[in-house]
Chain A
Amino acid sequence: MMADAPAARLRWPALVVVVLLVGITVVSSVGIHRANQSAERRLLHERASEIALILTDSFASLQTQIETISAETALNGSDREAFLSAANALSPGGGSFAQPVGLARIDTGSGIVRFITRAGSLPAAPSAQAAAVIRRALAESPPKVTSAVFGSGASRALGLAYPVGASNLVVYEQLPLDLAAAGSAIRTSAPFHELNAALYGTSTRDPKALLLTTNGSVPRTGEIATAAAPFGADTWLVAIQATSPLAGKFAARAYWLVLLGGLLITIVLGFLVEILLRRRDYALALVAERTEELQQSVGELELAQEKLVQTTRLAAIGQLASAIGHELRNPLGVITNAHYLLRTALERKDGGPDAARHLRTAEREVGAATLIVADLLDYARAREPVTASVDISDLIDEVQTVIPAPDDVTVERHAASNVPAARADRDQLRQVLLNLVSNAYEAISDGGTVTITTEAAADFVRISVTDTGSGMDEETLGQLFEPFFTRKTKGIGLGLSVTKRIVETHRGTISVDSAVGRGTTFTIELPAARVEVVK
Chain B
Amino acid sequence: MTHSVLVVDDEYGMRETLVDILTSAGYVVTDCGDGFAALELARAQPYDVIIMDIRMPAMTGVEVLQSLEHPPPQVVLMTGYAVEEQLRQARENNAFAIMQKPFQIPYLLRIVAAAANSAA
Task: List chain A positions with a Cβ less than 8 A from chain B.
Answer: 322, 325-327, 329-338, 340-341, 344, 354, 358, 361, 364-365, 368, 488-490
CA gap between A489 and B18 in the complex, in Å: 20
24 contacts between A and B (CB under 8 A): A325-B80, A327-B80, A329-B80, A329-B100, A330-B13, A330-B80, A331-B13, A332-B102, A333-B80, A333-B103, A334-B13, A334-B14, A335-B102, A336-B102, A336-B103, A337-B17, A337-B102, A338-B13, A341-B24, A344-B24, A354-B20, A358-B17, A361-B13, A489-B55
| Residue pair A330, B24 in contact (C-beta under 8 Å) | no
CA gap between A334 and B101 in the complex, in Å: 9
| Residue pair A330, B101 in contact (C-beta under 8 Å) | yes
Determine the chain A residues whose CB is within 8 A of the CB of B16 once the complex forms: 361
| Residue pair B20, A341 in contact (C-beta under 8 Å) | yes
Task: List chain B positions with a Cβ less than 8 A from chain A.
Answer: 10-11, 13-14, 16-18, 20-21, 24, 55-57, 78, 80-81, 100-105
CA gap between A331 and B12 in the complex, in Å: 10
CA gap between A152 and B30 in the complex, in Å: 171
Determine the chain A residues whose CB is within 8 A of the CB of B57 once the complex forms: 488-489
What is the chain A residue whose CB lies nearest that of B106? A340
| Residue pair A329, B105 in contact (C-beta under 8 Å) | no
| Residue pair B21, A340 in contact (C-beta under 8 Å) | yes
CA gap between A322 and B84 in the complex, in Å: 13
Q: Tell me the number of A-to-B contacts counted with CB atoms below 8 Å.
A: 69
CA gap between A336 and B20 in the complex, in Å: 13
Q: Which 3 A-B pairs rank lowest in CB-CB distance, beginning with the nearest?
A: A337-B17, A329-B80, A326-B81
CA gap between A358 and B19 in the complex, in Å: 12
CA gap between A152 and B117 in the complex, in Å: 171
Determine the chain A residues whose CB is within 8 A of the CB of B102 once the complex forms: 329, 332-337
Output the least CB separation between B110 and chain A (Å): 14
| Residue pair B21, A330 in contact (C-beta under 8 Å) | no
CA gap between A259 and B55 in the complex, in Å: 101
CA gap between A341 and B20 in the complex, in Å: 8
What is the chain B residue whose CB lies nearest that of A322? B81
Please pick, from B20, B56, B101, the residue contacting A332 in the complex, using a CB distance under 8 A.
B101
What is the chain B residue whose CB lies nearest that of A329? B80
CA gap between A477 and B78 in the complex, in Å: 32
| Residue pair B13, A364 in contact (C-beta under 8 Å) | yes
Determine the chain B residues whose CB is within 8 A of the CB of A332 once the complex forms: 101-102
Output the least CB separation between B18 and chain A (Å): 6
Determine the chain B residues whose CB is within 8 A of the CB of A358 once the complex forms: 17, 20
CA gap between A335 and B24 in the complex, in Å: 17
CA gap between A330 and B16 in the complex, in Å: 13
CA gap between A332 and B78 in the complex, in Å: 13
Determine the chain B residues whose CB is within 8 A of the CB of A326 once the complex forms: 55, 80-81
Determine the chain A residues whose CB is within 8 A of the CB of B101 once the complex forms: 329-330, 332-333
Known: A322-B81, A489-B57. A340 touches B13 (CB 8 A): no
Determine the chain A residues whose CB is within 8 A of the CB of B104 once the complex forms: 336
Q: Can you add 10 more A-B contacts, CB < 8 Å, to A334-B102, A354-B20? A: A333-B14, A333-B80, A333-B102, A336-B102, A336-B104, A340-B105, A344-B24, A361-B13, A489-B10, A490-B11
CA gap between A326 and B101 in the complex, in Å: 9
Output the least CB separation between A410 and chain B (Å): 22
Known: A336-B103, A340-B105, A489-B55. A365 touches B21 (CB 8 A): no
Determine the chain B residues whose CB is within 8 A of the CB of A341 once the complex forms: 17, 20-21, 24
Which of A336, A365, A488 gathers the greatest number of chain B CB atoms within 10 Å? Answer: A336
CA gap between A340 and B17 in the complex, in Å: 9
Which of B55, B80, B103, B104 gathers the greatest number of chain A CB atoms within 10 Å? Answer: B80
Output the least CB separation between B99 and chain A (Å): 10
Please pick, from A322, A329, A338, A490, the residue contacting B17 in the complex, using a CB distance under 8 A.
A338
Determine the chain A residues whose CB is within 8 A of the CB of B103 once the complex forms: 333, 336
Determine the chain B residues whose CB is within 8 A of the CB of A365 once the complex forms: 13
| Residue pair A330, B18 in contact (C-beta under 8 Å) | no
CA gap between A354 and B21 in the complex, in Å: 12
CA gap between A166 and B8 in the complex, in Å: 176
